[in-house]
Structure formats: C-alpha cells, structure tokens
Amino acid sequence: MGIAEGKTALVVGVANERSLAWGIVQNLVAQGAKVALTYQGEPLERRVRPLAEQVGATVVGEMDVMNEESVGAAFARVDELWGGLDMLVHSVAFAEREDLQGRFLNVSRQNFSRAVEVSAYSLVSLARAAEPLMEKRGGGSILTLTYLGAVRAVPNYNVMGVAKAALEACVRYLAVDLGEKSIRVNAISAAPVRTLSAAAIRGFYDMMHEVERRSPLRRALNREEVGSMAVALLSTLGSGVTGQTVYVDLGYSIVGL
C-alpha cells in the first residue's frame, strides 16, 4: 500500500504535463491517493482532461481563484464526490509578462495588486474553503509552491518575488490558524524547472543553468523530485511539519559566493 492510500487530494493549478503540479499528481496517484483536478477556462480544460484520464483522476470542473463563488462551488463538488478532503495542493501564480523583466520599480499599482492577489491571497481563499471538508476527515494537509525569489532578489523575478514572499507569510499564518484542527500548511521552494509559467521569466534558462553549475548536487532538478517531497509533506510522513518552506533545490539556497 502507498503512503497516500485511501486519501483524497484536490490539486489546483495543473497547466500541462511539464507543470510541477502534474508531477505532484503523478506521485499522489502512485501512492494510492484519489485525485481531483480543476481548470480555469477552455484552453486549460483541453489540457487538463486528457492528463486526468491518464492517471484516473477526476475533473471536478472549472474554478476561478479570483471568484469566491467559483471557489465555493468547486469545493462543494469535491464534498459531494468524497464527503470531505484530506489534501490540497495550491499551484497558482500570475504576473504580467512585462513585469518579469527590467526594473521592479516600474511595476504598476494594478499589476502589483493582481500578482499578490492571484499568487498569495488565492491560498487563503482555498484554505478557507478546504477547512470544513478537512474537519470532516479529522484533519488534513495543504501545500503550495514557492521559489527562492521570495527571500532573495532574483533578476527579472521582480513582482513575483514579492508575491511569493506574501505567499510564504500566508503559509505561516494559516498554519497557526488551522493547526488546532490538525490541518497542516507547508510550502515547497523548488529550483527552476522548465514549466509553462517559467517561460515568461526573462533569462529563465540562465537561472536554471546557474543552479546546475553552483548547486552542491551540480545538476538540474527533476520535477518528480518535487512530487515525491510533496507527497511526503502531504502524507503522514510529514505529520510533525507545518508552517515551513522546504527547499527542494539541490542545495542551491545554501550556497554563498
């Protein structure tokens, strides 16, 4: 039996087969979990449904994280499907492409607010919707994805770094709020991996090669490595861990000059 056998998991943010969220889905399914996916808009639906079929996951429908009614409806469908929820994966982030290059100083008020709302507040919204479903199961686990740019100034990461810093703070405060209900909240900070969203960052491949060159393990990160750590944190293997940002970055974050 897998370590997630009999558990239920909602994964939000699968974009395609290269996304970190998809790697997490594959690992959850391999460890016995029942998985549900959402999508936002028809273009993503066309990508998500075939992936769900590959692993026997359920697509519970469209969810717009910027719309509370849409979030509530998606979680209601999950409740109807399973009568509760054990695990939630939040893999949602957004910044305008123009703000992922040049000077951070030039970001507009509107773009700043939108990046933080989509990338960080959405975790709060999803956690609030998940709380009653996880209470039915006697507890649960929530996981989100972040990056080193939350704590260091990374060229061209700009407003997304600010949004990820807010996201990591949300993890800590949510962990405090939900801990008494045996709901854990953590984040994985992964090294750069080729994904759809990463392609928008100017100089992304330079970032990835820098990790390969300077990290202690001297290689690229495999998205399956993120998936396996995610399952560990989501499952009982991580039962004593909450409010933490766990680095899965080949050791790059420990390196100085």
CATH number at residue 236: 3.40.50.720
Alpha-carbon distance of 230 to 70, in angstroms, equals 26
Decide if 234 is inside a domain.
Answer: yes
- Give the residue numbers spanning the domain of 218: 8-254
In a domain, 2, yes or no: no
Token reading at 53: 């079929």
Cβ pair 219, 212 in contact under 8 A: yes
88 within domain boundaries: yes
**Average pLDDT, integer, range 181-205:** 79
Q: Which of 39, 147, 247, 252 is catalytic?
A: 147
pLDDT at 196: 56
Residue 204 has pLDDT above 60, yes or no: yes
pLDDT, averaged across the chain: 94
Q: How confident is the model at residue 10 (pLDDT cuts 50, 70, 90)?
A: very high
3-state secondary structure of 56: coil
CA distance 223 to 76: 30
Model confidence at 202, in pLDDT bands (50, 70, 90)?
A: low
* Distance of alpha carbon 56 from alpha carbon 44, whole angstroms: 18
Residue 205 bears catalytic tag: no
Position 198 confidence tier, pLDDT thresholds 50, 70, 90: low
| Residue 211 confidence (pLDDT) | 85
Report the domain count for the chain.
Answer: 1
Predicted confidence at residue 206, as pLDDT, reads: 76
**pLDDT tens profile 127-179:** 999 999 999 999 999 999 999 999 999 989 999 999 999 999 999 999 999 99
**Looking at the domain assignment, is residue 3 inside a domain?**
no
Looking at 16-82, which runs of residues are DSSP E strands? 34-39, 58-62
Which of 189, 192, 131 lies closest to 156 in space, CA to CA? 192
| Cross-strand bridge partners of residue 166 | none
- The pLDDT tens digits of the residues spanning 77-136 come to 999 999 999 999 999 999 999 999 899 999 999 999 999 999 999 999 999 999 999 999
Tokens 């994904």 map to which residue?
Answer: 195
Is position 98 within any domain? yes
Q: What letters, b where the CB count within 10 A reaches 16 and e where it falls short, cover 142-152?
A: bbbbbbbbbee
> Strand, coil or helix: what is 40?
coil
pLDDT at position 182 is: 98
pLDDT for the residue 194: 66
| CA distance from start to end of the chain | 45
Residue 235 domain flag: yes
Question: Is residue 195 pLDDT above 70, yes or no?
Answer: no
Q: Which of 39, 121, 157, 205 is catalytic?
A: 157
| pLDDT on residue 200 | 60
Give percent of the chain above pLDDT 70: 95
The answer as to whether 184 is a domain residue is yes
Residue 197 pLDDT greater than 80, yes or no = no
Kindly state whether residue 1 falls inside one of the protein's structural domains: no
Region 177-195 average pLDDT = 92
- Which among 41, 66, 159 has a CA at the least distance from the CA of 111? 159
Q: State yes or no: pLDDT of 203 exceeds 80.
A: no
The larger pLDDT score, comparing residue 208 to residue 231, is at: 231
Three-class secondary structure of residue 8 per DSSP? strand
C-beta of residue 189 within 8 angstroms of C-beta of residue 158: no
Residue 185 pairs with which residues in a beta bridge? Answer: 142
